[in-house]
Amino acid sequence: MNLDLFNTPPEPWTEPLSPGALVLRQYAIAHTDSLLAGIRAIAAQAPFRRMQTPGGHTMSVAMTNCGTAGWITDCKGYRYSSTDPLSGQAWPAMPADFRSLAQAAALAAGFPGFPPDACLINRYPVGAKMALHQDRDERDLTAPIVSVSLGLPATFLWGGLQRSDKAVKVPLLHGDVVVWGGEARLVFHGIAPLKSGQHPLLGEERLNLTFRQAL
């Protein structure tokens, strides 16, 4: 008889989204502590900041990066930069356990040999959102993207290859990992406004890490 109904973390399981994309439920749960410690150290060097879009809006999501390249946006456009524009210094190095988690998740999703060089870290307070977009600033669009969710639950919007395609709503919980590539690589996606709540580790926020091969 199994009396340990509540104290054992769930085993990871996978949920297909569309060809080339799947959710690895709870895949990162055992890595929570090292991810949060890593993010804290990265943010001490390269603080979270709300960037400007080329259209002149301030994003509701605060961002930082680690790795040899970091995603940035300002009045001149979206791009990758090897330095943090706030400090002029290189972004903090990508921790080895971040890279190995991303590589293992990519492999589990059928994308062997994923070498991430960029990790964008997004911080969502309650109410923050990310409009539907494509990730197309990376040089090699054959490499997948691995996305790790921590903290408050979010509603991920998963559309199609046209901006006007109807998006389905996919709940993403603390510890869930999304991997996509191949024919899904240019699918429009976004995050609905974050609902209020209290996460035991992260309080009123959500963190998301997206690992990419940018350069």
Find which of ligand MD6, Fe ion, none residue 176 binds, CB within 5 to 8 Å per kind.
none
Instruction: Please pick, from the candidates 147, 167, 174, 188, the single residue that binds ligand MD6 as defined by CB under 6 A.
Output: 147
Q: Exposed/middle/buried for 85, CB within 10 Å: 0-12, 13-18, 19+?
A: exposed
- Pick one of 24, 67, 70, 135: the residue that binds Fe ion (CB under 5 A): 135
Question: Helix (H, G, I), strand (E, B), or coil: what is residue 54?
Answer: coil
138 binds, among ligand MD6, Fe ion, none (CB under 5 to 8 A by kind): none
User: Binds 46, which of Fe ion, ligand MD6, none (CB < 5 to 8 A, cut-off by type)?
Assistant: none
Smallest gap, in angstroms, from Cβ of residue 29 to ligand MD6? 17
φ/ψ of residue 204, rounded to 5? -95, 40
Question: Can you tell me the distance from the alpha carbon of 121 to that of 111, in angstroms, rounded to the nearest whole number?
Answer: 22
Q: For tokens 């995050």, name the residue.
A: 191
Complex with ligand MD6: residue 64 or 147, whichever CB lies closer:
147
Site for ligand MD6 in 167-196 (CB under 6 A): 178, 189, 191
Residues 174-213 that bind Fe ion (CB under 5 A): none
Count other Cβ atoms within 10 Å, centred on residue 66.
27
d(CA 198, CA 110): 34
Instruction: List interacting residues with Fe ion (CB under 5 A).
Output: 135
